[in-house]
Amino acid sequence: MPEGPEIRRAADALASVLSGRKVKSARFFLNTLQRFNKELSGSRVLDVTSRSKAILTRFDNGLTLYSHNQLYGRWVILPAGEYPGSTRTLRLAIHTRDCMALLYSASDIEVIRTADLDQHPYLRKLGIELLAPGTGPDDVIARFDDSRFHRRNLMSLLQDQSFISGMGNYLCCEVLHVSGIHPRRRLAELGRAQRHRLAKNCHRLTRQSYKTGGITNLVTRAEKLRKAGFEFEDYRFHVYRREGLPCYKCGTGIEKGSYSGKTGYLCPGCQT
Protein backbone atom coordinates (compact mmCIF):
# COMPACT_ATOMS: atom_id res chain seq x y z
CA MET A 1 0.00 0.00 0.00
CA PRO A 2 1.35 3.48 -0.81
CA GLU A 3 2.54 5.32 2.29
CA GLY A 4 2.42 8.98 3.26
CA PRO A 5 5.28 10.15 0.99
CA GLU A 6 3.82 8.47 -2.11
CA ILE A 7 0.35 9.88 -1.41
CA ARG A 8 1.76 13.38 -0.83
CA ARG A 9 3.62 13.22 -4.15
CA ALA A 10 0.43 12.07 -5.90
CA ALA A 11 -1.42 15.00 -4.32
CA ASP A 12 1.32 17.36 -5.50
CA ALA A 13 0.97 16.05 -9.06
CA LEU A 14 -2.80 16.54 -8.96
CA ALA A 15 -2.41 20.03 -7.49
CA SER A 16 -0.08 21.00 -10.33
CA VAL A 17 -2.82 20.43 -12.93
CA LEU A 18 -6.03 21.03 -10.93
CA SER A 19 -5.45 23.77 -8.37
CA GLY A 20 -7.08 27.01 -9.49
CA ARG A 21 -8.60 25.34 -12.56
CA LYS A 22 -12.26 25.16 -13.45
CA VAL A 23 -13.74 21.70 -13.73
CA LYS A 24 -15.16 21.32 -17.22
CA SER A 25 -16.86 18.09 -16.21
CA ALA A 26 -16.67 15.51 -13.43
CA ARG A 27 -17.87 11.98 -13.92
CA PHE A 28 -18.19 9.34 -11.22
CA PHE A 29 -18.50 5.74 -12.32
CA LEU A 30 -19.80 4.56 -8.95
CA ASN A 31 -23.60 4.67 -8.79
CA THR A 32 -23.62 5.97 -5.24
CA LEU A 33 -21.63 9.07 -6.22
CA GLN A 34 -23.10 9.95 -9.61
CA ARG A 35 -25.38 12.54 -8.02
CA PHE A 36 -22.27 14.71 -7.53
CA ASN A 37 -21.44 14.87 -11.25
CA LYS A 38 -23.43 18.08 -11.72
CA GLU A 39 -22.32 19.63 -8.44
CA LEU A 40 -18.62 19.32 -9.24
CA SER A 41 -18.90 20.14 -12.93
CA GLY A 42 -18.41 23.87 -13.34
CA SER A 43 -16.79 24.32 -9.92
CA ARG A 44 -13.21 25.44 -9.39
CA VAL A 45 -10.56 23.41 -7.57
CA LEU A 46 -9.14 25.41 -4.67
CA ASP A 47 -6.37 23.01 -3.69
CA VAL A 48 -5.30 19.37 -3.46
CA THR A 49 -3.63 18.16 -0.26
CA SER A 50 -3.02 14.91 1.55
CA ARG A 51 -3.52 13.73 5.11
CA SER A 52 -1.88 10.47 6.03
CA LYS A 53 -2.85 8.17 3.14
CA ALA A 54 -5.88 10.13 1.91
CA ILE A 55 -6.02 12.81 -0.80
CA LEU A 56 -8.36 15.77 -0.33
CA THR A 57 -9.46 17.80 -3.35
CA ARG A 58 -11.26 20.96 -2.23
CA PHE A 59 -13.72 22.78 -4.50
CA ASP A 60 -15.08 26.34 -4.32
CA ASN A 61 -18.66 25.12 -3.84
CA GLY A 62 -18.04 23.91 -0.29
CA LEU A 63 -17.40 20.28 -1.22
CA THR A 64 -14.25 18.17 -0.83
CA LEU A 65 -13.41 14.95 -2.62
CA TYR A 66 -11.94 12.39 -0.22
CA SER A 67 -10.07 9.51 -1.86
CA HIS A 68 -8.05 6.77 -0.19
CA ASN A 69 -6.14 4.62 -2.67
CA GLN A 70 -6.03 1.57 -0.39
CA LEU A 71 -3.85 -1.07 -2.07
CA TYR A 72 -4.78 -0.73 -5.73
CA GLY A 73 -6.04 2.81 -6.27
CA ARG A 74 -4.11 5.05 -8.65
CA TRP A 75 -4.46 8.56 -10.05
CA VAL A 76 -3.42 9.08 -13.68
CA ILE A 77 -2.99 12.53 -15.26
CA LEU A 78 -3.29 12.81 -19.05
CA PRO A 79 -3.89 15.49 -21.67
CA ALA A 80 -7.56 16.03 -22.51
CA GLY A 81 -8.81 13.35 -24.88
CA GLU A 82 -10.11 9.81 -24.97
CA TYR A 83 -9.80 7.53 -21.97
CA PRO A 84 -6.87 5.12 -22.39
CA GLY A 85 -7.31 1.38 -22.42
CA SER A 86 -6.67 -0.12 -18.98
CA THR A 87 -7.22 -3.32 -17.04
CA ARG A 88 -8.05 -1.14 -14.01
CA THR A 89 -11.56 0.01 -13.16
CA LEU A 90 -12.14 3.72 -13.73
CA ARG A 91 -13.86 5.28 -10.71
CA LEU A 92 -13.71 9.01 -11.42
CA ALA A 93 -12.71 11.37 -14.22
CA ILE A 94 -12.11 15.09 -13.60
CA HIS A 95 -11.77 17.09 -16.81
CA THR A 96 -10.37 20.59 -17.18
CA ARG A 97 -9.81 22.46 -20.41
CA ASP A 98 -6.33 21.00 -20.82
CA CYS A 99 -6.16 17.71 -18.97
CA MET A 100 -7.99 14.92 -17.23
CA ALA A 101 -7.29 13.37 -13.85
CA LEU A 102 -8.44 9.74 -13.73
CA LEU A 103 -8.83 7.73 -10.54
CA TYR A 104 -8.62 3.97 -11.06
CA SER A 105 -9.47 1.04 -8.77
CA ALA A 106 -9.85 2.99 -5.51
CA SER A 107 -12.76 1.77 -3.41
CA ASP A 108 -12.79 4.42 -0.67
CA ILE A 109 -14.13 7.60 -2.30
CA GLU A 110 -16.49 10.18 -0.81
CA VAL A 111 -17.72 13.70 -1.45
CA ILE A 112 -17.96 15.58 1.84
CA ARG A 113 -18.94 19.05 2.90
CA THR A 114 -15.65 20.82 3.55
CA ALA A 115 -16.98 22.15 6.84
CA ASP A 116 -17.52 18.56 8.02
CA LEU A 117 -14.05 17.18 7.20
CA ASP A 118 -12.93 17.15 10.83
CA GLN A 119 -15.80 14.76 11.62
CA HIS A 120 -14.80 12.20 9.00
CA PRO A 121 -14.25 8.77 10.66
CA TYR A 122 -10.74 8.39 9.21
CA LEU A 123 -9.51 11.98 9.37
CA ARG A 124 -10.67 12.71 12.90
CA LYS A 125 -8.64 9.83 14.33
CA LEU A 126 -5.32 10.74 12.71
CA GLY A 127 -2.34 11.44 14.90
CA ILE A 128 0.35 14.02 14.25
CA GLU A 129 1.04 14.43 10.52
CA LEU A 130 4.72 13.78 9.81
CA LEU A 131 4.62 15.61 6.45
CA ALA A 132 2.63 18.63 7.62
CA PRO A 133 4.60 21.86 7.08
CA GLY A 134 4.24 22.84 10.73
CA THR A 135 5.36 19.52 12.20
CA GLY A 136 8.89 19.56 13.58
CA PRO A 137 11.04 16.93 15.36
CA ASP A 138 10.04 18.29 18.79
CA ASP A 139 6.36 17.75 17.99
CA VAL A 140 7.05 14.11 17.18
CA ILE A 141 9.21 13.67 20.29
CA ALA A 142 6.33 14.94 22.43
CA ARG A 143 4.09 12.26 20.91
CA PHE A 144 6.63 9.54 21.74
CA ASP A 145 6.90 10.83 25.32
CA ASP A 146 3.14 10.41 25.83
CA SER A 147 2.85 7.50 28.27
CA ARG A 148 -0.50 6.40 26.78
CA PHE A 149 1.40 4.70 23.96
CA HIS A 150 4.33 3.22 25.87
CA ARG A 151 3.01 -0.33 26.19
CA ARG A 152 2.48 -0.75 22.46
CA ASN A 153 4.67 -2.97 20.27
CA LEU A 154 6.71 -0.75 17.94
CA MET A 155 6.03 -2.62 14.69
CA SER A 156 2.33 -2.04 15.22
CA LEU A 157 2.51 1.38 16.88
CA LEU A 158 4.59 3.11 14.20
CA GLN A 159 2.07 2.05 11.54
CA ASP A 160 -0.95 3.15 13.58
CA GLN A 161 -2.17 6.32 11.87
CA SER A 162 -3.81 7.49 15.08
CA PHE A 163 -0.37 7.65 16.72
CA ILE A 164 1.62 9.31 13.93
CA SER A 165 0.26 9.53 10.41
CA GLY A 166 2.15 8.89 7.21
CA MET A 167 4.21 5.79 7.97
CA GLY A 168 3.51 2.30 6.72
CA ASN A 169 5.43 -0.96 6.50
CA TYR A 170 8.55 0.05 4.59
CA LEU A 171 9.08 3.25 6.58
CA CYS A 172 8.55 1.39 9.84
CA CYS A 173 11.20 -1.21 8.95
CA GLU A 174 13.65 1.43 7.77
CA VAL A 175 13.20 3.73 10.78
CA LEU A 176 13.63 0.88 13.27
CA HIS A 177 16.79 -0.27 11.50
CA VAL A 178 18.37 3.20 11.37
CA SER A 179 17.50 3.62 15.06
CA GLY A 180 19.01 0.22 15.96
CA ILE A 181 15.79 -1.07 17.54
CA HIS A 182 14.18 -4.50 17.22
CA PRO A 183 10.55 -4.39 15.98
CA ARG A 184 9.30 -6.54 18.88
CA ARG A 185 10.28 -3.97 21.49
CA ARG A 186 7.80 -1.68 23.18
CA LEU A 187 8.12 2.06 23.57
CA ALA A 188 8.29 1.64 27.36
CA GLU A 189 11.46 -0.45 26.98
CA LEU A 190 13.40 2.39 25.38
CA GLY A 191 15.43 4.92 27.28
CA ARG A 192 14.68 8.60 26.80
CA ALA A 193 17.58 9.19 24.37
CA GLN A 194 16.68 6.10 22.33
CA ARG A 195 13.02 7.08 22.25
CA HIS A 196 13.85 10.57 21.04
CA ARG A 197 16.23 9.25 18.39
CA LEU A 198 13.45 7.01 17.08
CA ALA A 199 11.02 9.93 16.96
CA LYS A 200 13.50 12.10 15.05
CA ASN A 201 14.18 9.31 12.55
CA CYS A 202 10.45 8.86 11.92
CA HIS A 203 10.24 12.55 11.05
CA ARG A 204 13.48 12.63 9.04
CA LEU A 205 13.10 9.47 6.95
CA THR A 206 9.45 10.12 6.10
CA ARG A 207 10.42 13.55 4.77
CA GLN A 208 13.47 12.18 2.99
CA SER A 209 11.32 9.57 1.25
CA TYR A 210 8.92 12.30 0.14
CA LYS A 211 11.69 14.49 -1.25
CA THR A 212 13.59 11.69 -3.00
CA GLY A 213 10.66 9.72 -4.38
CA GLY A 214 11.01 6.78 -2.01
CA ILE A 215 14.68 6.56 -0.98
CA THR A 216 15.28 5.84 2.70
CA ASN A 217 18.83 4.56 2.24
CA LEU A 218 21.68 7.02 2.70
CA VAL A 219 21.25 9.37 -0.25
CA THR A 220 24.97 9.33 -1.05
CA ARG A 221 25.04 5.53 -0.99
CA ALA A 222 21.93 5.30 -3.14
CA GLU A 223 23.42 7.66 -5.69
CA LYS A 224 26.65 5.66 -5.82
CA LEU A 225 24.71 2.42 -6.38
CA ARG A 226 22.56 4.09 -9.04
CA LYS A 227 25.66 5.18 -10.94
CA ALA A 228 26.99 1.62 -10.65
CA GLY A 229 23.95 0.38 -12.57
CA PHE A 230 21.68 -0.85 -9.78
CA GLU A 231 17.91 -0.63 -10.29
CA PHE A 232 15.85 1.74 -8.10
CA GLU A 233 14.33 -1.05 -5.99
CA ASP A 234 17.84 -2.40 -5.34
CA TYR A 235 19.30 0.77 -3.86
CA ARG A 236 16.44 2.64 -2.20
CA PHE A 237 16.29 0.78 1.15
CA HIS A 238 18.53 -0.13 4.10
CA VAL A 239 16.77 -3.42 4.92
CA TYR A 240 13.27 -3.51 3.39
CA ARG A 241 12.94 -6.31 0.80
CA ARG A 242 16.67 -7.10 1.17
CA GLU A 243 16.27 -10.54 2.77
CA GLY A 244 19.53 -12.50 2.66
CA LEU A 245 21.61 -9.54 1.49
CA PRO A 246 24.33 -8.07 3.74
CA CYS A 247 23.57 -5.15 6.02
CA TYR A 248 25.32 -2.04 4.74
CA LYS A 249 26.53 -1.27 8.27
CA CYS A 250 27.72 -4.58 9.74
CA GLY A 251 27.53 -7.13 6.90
CA THR A 252 25.06 -9.46 8.66
CA GLY A 253 22.41 -11.00 6.39
CA ILE A 254 19.06 -9.21 6.45
CA GLU A 255 16.21 -11.31 7.85
CA LYS A 256 12.50 -11.31 7.06
CA GLY A 257 9.97 -12.12 9.76
CA SER A 258 6.52 -11.54 11.20
CA TYR A 259 6.14 -9.01 14.01
CA SER A 260 2.73 -8.23 15.52
CA GLY A 261 1.17 -9.89 12.50
CA LYS A 262 3.06 -7.66 10.07
CA THR A 263 5.87 -8.63 7.72
CA GLY A 264 9.12 -6.90 8.54
CA TYR A 265 12.81 -6.85 7.70
CA LEU A 266 15.74 -6.29 10.07
CA CYS A 267 19.44 -6.78 10.60
CA PRO A 268 19.94 -9.17 13.54
CA GLY A 269 23.40 -7.69 14.05
CA CYS A 270 22.28 -4.07 14.37
CA GLN A 271 18.82 -4.60 15.88
CA THR A 272 19.35 -6.91 18.85
**CATH value at residue 40:** 3.20.190.10
Longest dimension (CA), the chain: 60
Residues 22 and 41 in one domain: yes
Cβ–Cβ < 8 Å for 86, 104: yes
Q: H helices within the chain, ranges in order? A: 4-18, 37-40, 137-144, 154-157, 169-179, 192-212, 219-227, 232-235
Range of the domain at 204: 128-266
Tell me, yes or no, whether 225 lies in a domain.
yes
Residues 145 and 63 in one domain: no
Q: How far apart, in whole angstroms, are the C-alpha atoms of residue 123 and residue 170?
A: 22
Tell me, yes or no, whether 86 lies in a domain.
yes
Given 97, 122, 147, the domain boundary residue is 122
Amino acid letter, residue 191 = G
Residues 102 and 171 in one domain: no
Residues 134 and 43 in one domain: no
Residues 115 and 137 in one domain: no
Residues 101 and 165 in one domain: no
Q: Could you list the pLDDT tens digit for every one of the 272 residues in the chain?
A: 789 999 999 999 999 999 999 999 999 999 999 999 999 999 999 999 999 999 999 999 999 999 998 878 899 999 999 999 989 999 999 999 999 999 999 989 999 999 999 999 999 999 999 999 999 999 999 999 999 999 999 999 999 999 999 999 999 999 999 999 999 999 999 999 999 999 999 999 999 999 999 999 999 999 999 999 999 999 999 999 999 999 999 999 999 999 989 999 999 999 98
Q: Report the CATH number that the domain containing residue 260 is assigned in CATH.
A: 1.10.8.50
Residues 33 and 134 in one domain: no
Q: How many CB atoms lie within 10 A of CB 85?
A: 5
Report the pLDDT value the prediction gives residue 107, as an integer from 0 to 100.
84
Residues 89 and 50 in one domain: yes
Residues in the chain: 272
Residues 259 and 133 in one domain: yes
Tell me, yes or no, whether 271 lies in a domain.
no
Tell me, yes or no, whether 157 lies in a domain.
yes
Report the pLDDT value the prediction gives residue 7, as an integer from 0 to 100.
96
Report the pLDDT value the prediction gives residue 71, as an integer from 0 to 100.
79
Question: How many structural domains are present in the chain?
Answer: 2
What pTM was estimated for this model as a whole?
Answer: 0.93
Tell me, yes or no, whether 227 lies in a domain.
yes
Q: How far apart, in whole angstroms, are the C-alpha atoms of residue 263 and residue 130?
A: 23
